[in-house]
Amino acid sequence: MRIIVIGMGPAGLSAALRAVEAGHDVRLISKGEGGFQLSQGTLDVLASLDGHQIDQPLVAIASLGPEHPYAGIGADRVREAVNWAAERIGPELLVGSAEHNLVLPTAVGAMRPTAFAQPSMVAAAATREYAVVGVRQLKDMPAELMAGNLGAESAWIDLPARAGEQDPTSLTYARALEDPEFADRFADAVAKAAPPGEVILLPGVLGTRPGTWRRIRDRIGREIAEVPLVPPSVPGIRLHDAMVAAIRAAHVKVVIGSRVVGFEADGDRLSGVRVGIAGRTRTFGADAVIHAPGGFSSGALDVDSYGRITERVFGLPLTADDATGLITPSWFDPQPLFEVGVRADVHGRAVNADNEPVFRNLYVAGDIIAGAQRWIEKSGEGTAIATALRAADGLAEGA
């Protein structure tokens, strides 16, 4: 079948890869890049429920209500989905499991649980005796704050990645550390400065490629762990690059930089999507569409100045259409707005309030699906990947 996947985050990339592996002719259309590169470079499955930290995500999934994105998928298929993704991304980049969460330090010294993390991070799960080393020129890891919250000692190294640059990003360091000579100087400076502690926590900038961190660890001669920073998130970029390499190798056709602006339908079936490209709007024909455009933060779900909530491409029915009262004043409070989204049936198709498919061949995946505040419960990648596989595996249903 000719499949169109809309969106290039964890859900869109997973859906495209799964569909092309099943032998479909897949075209991925995305307004821009995004998703994985803005993440921590880990796979969250589920880590918090009703204010309690969760150790066993799959056990907790069984207790979720029917409105949750995992509902109807079930623990076994969630396990299968995240294992599939971790396998495609590869053990050089992801280790762990959905059975038990790893608990890892963040850049402000909080402890954050996640199911799969990068090999460069996981040494921090085995101990709480840390030494924190920051880089003076890199403002995104406040070593003293972090160490204070972790009850650890901290130290700084002073090592510009590029002479004369006042405000380097994480990526500037990650690129510089691909040069073995700079990596050695970096490692020597860390070795000299690091206070005592079982594991040295370092900014998550240890190379753009998987494995670069090992050279640095070996040169330092002590256990180290990368701590993910704010974007540009180097560990997130590694996951994105691995997934993009996989869809390219499978010859998924990618149209990037173009927004899907509408659709064409024949009765209860979509026949194609309309895409705004340079100079005009054109149609790409499709036998089925997997809509994985993200939620409110990507603009796929929109709130206008009157509080009206809409899904922008297909005008899909949502669990709520009025944002009044759903946005709370404090940044850190729950935001019920983010639970608003599209409902899906057991095959992943977008459905109306009567649980009937809006179109027989329109599937949804990822953040557009209603029922969870993913950053609070830490289920973003897991819900994205599990719903993406449900959609890709359900394609025959709409044929």
Q: How far apart are CA 69 and CA 67, in angstroms?
A: 7
Task: Yes or no: say if 42 and 381 are a contact pair by the CB < 8 Å rule.
Answer: yes
Q: How far apart are CA 81 and CA 67, in angstroms?
A: 20
Collapse the DSSP code of 371 into the 3-class scheme (helix H, G, I; strand E, B; otherwise coil) and give the result: coil
24 binds other proteins (CB under 8 A): no
Q: For other proteins, which stretch binds (CB under 8 A), given 10-18, 32-40, 182-190, 332-340?
A: 32-40
Nearest partner of 58 among 10, 14, 97, 104, judged by Cα: 97
231 binds other proteins (CB under 8 A): yes
277 binds other proteins (CB under 8 A): yes
278 binds other proteins (CB under 8 A): yes
Give 153 or 264: the residue with its C-beta nearer to other proteins.
264
327 binds other proteins (CB under 8 A): no
The CB-of-153 to other proteins minimum distance in angstroms stands at: 31
237 binds other proteins (CB under 8 A): yes
Q: How far apart are CA 260 and CA 312, in angstroms?
A: 9
Residues 279-308 close enough to bind other proteins by CB under 8 A: 279-280, 285, 294, 297-299
Task: Yes or no: say if 105 and 112 are a contact pair by the CB < 8 Å rule.
Answer: yes
The CB-of-57 to other proteins minimum distance in angstroms stands at: 27
Distances (CA, A) of 282 to 35, 229, 230, 272, 278: 26, 39, 37, 10, 10
Residues 244-263 close enough to bind other proteins by CB under 8 A: 248, 251, 253-259
Give the distance from CA 32 to its chain's centroid.
Answer: 15
Give 67 or 165: the residue with its C-beta nearer to other proteins.
165
Q: For other proteins, which stretch binds (CB under 8 A), given 130-138, 157-165, 308-316, 331-339?
A: 157-165
Strand order in the sheet with 223-227: 153-157, 130-135, 199-203, 223-227
The site for other proteins (CB under 8 A) is made up of 27, 30-34, 37-38, 162-165, 169, 171-172, 175, 231-232, 237, 248, 251, 253-259, 275-280, 285, 294, 297-299
